[in-house]
Chain A
Amino acid sequence: QKEVEQDPGPLSVPEGAIVSLNCTYSNSAFQYFMWYRQYSRKGPELLMYTYSSGNKEDGRFTAQVDKSSKYISLFIRDSQPSDSATYLCAMSASSTGFQKLVFGTGTRLLVSP
């Protein structure tokens, strides 16, 4: 079983919908949580970064971390066709500054006009 589980999708939504993307994990030592967006054949682009439990909001994006349930979420409001991409959750247990990230498999999101 992978340390980080993520539904690969694809997740298809109409433009303007609220999108919910989720990951579960098994390693209770994870304390740094990130969401990356990856377009086809491109590098992962950092969207959100959260330390420990709680919520973080940045524009149309909201990241939530529930360490008690080992569950993290990314919400996208007012989704746009340009949001169509693969969304990867990533986590790290490092407290030394060396971020050996463990990734989920990524969820492919398709936003139709």
Chain B
Amino acid sequence: AAGVIQSPRHLIKEKRETATLKCYPIPRHDTVYWYQQGPGQDPQFLISFYEKMQSDKGSIPDRFSAQQFSDYHSELNMSSLELGDSALYFCASSLRQFSGNTIYFGEGSWLTVV
């Protein structure tokens, strides 16, 4: 079965640079979530989108922005990168139609800021 696809899988950026992560949800899933997992940490919710509109917001820095496009894929844009932004960024998707439906995660994008 198709899963959540994330790209790139690995990314190295310098401080103050900009990075863009892409996420392609499971087909027919209408909701996309972004999570950040620092080394040895649990995943922290950043932001979610439903039908191209932001549905919820978590601990996402102002330097970060995200959007969901007409084909339901999503992009997370990170600017003025800091060393502390180095983490594994997960995208997840679900189908909102069924309340309480479960979330499926992608393999993650490793961002290293040097």
**Chain A interface SS verdict (over half):** loop
Q: Which of A10-18, A58-66, A92-100 contacts B (4 or more CB under 8 A)?
A: A92-100
- Number of B residues near A (Cβ < 8 Å) is 31
Query: At the interface, yes or no: B64 with Cβ under 8 Å from chain A?
Result: no
**Contact present for B102 and A46 (CB under 8 Å):** yes
A-B contact count (CB 8 A): 75
**B43, B48, B88, B101 — most chain A CB neighbours (10 Å):** B43
Query: At the interface, yes or no: B20 with Cβ under 8 Å from chain A?
Result: no
- Number of A residues near B (Cβ < 8 Å) is 27
**With a CB–CB cut-off of 8 A, which chain B residues contact A45?**
105
Query: At the interface, yes or no: A113 with Cβ under 8 Å from chain B?
Result: no
28 A-B residue pairs with CB within 8 Å: A32-B100, A41-B88, A41-B108, A41-B110, A43-B90, A43-B105, A44-B43, A45-B105, A46-B103, A46-B104, A46-B105, A92-B100, A94-B99, A97-B50, A97-B101, A98-B96, A99-B31, A99-B33, A99-B94, A99-B101, A100-B33, A100-B48, A100-B58, A101-B33, A101-B35, A101-B43, A103-B43, A105-B41
Chain B residues packing against A (C-beta within 8 Å): 4, 31, 33, 35, 41-45, 48, 50, 55-56, 58, 88, 90, 94, 96-108, 110
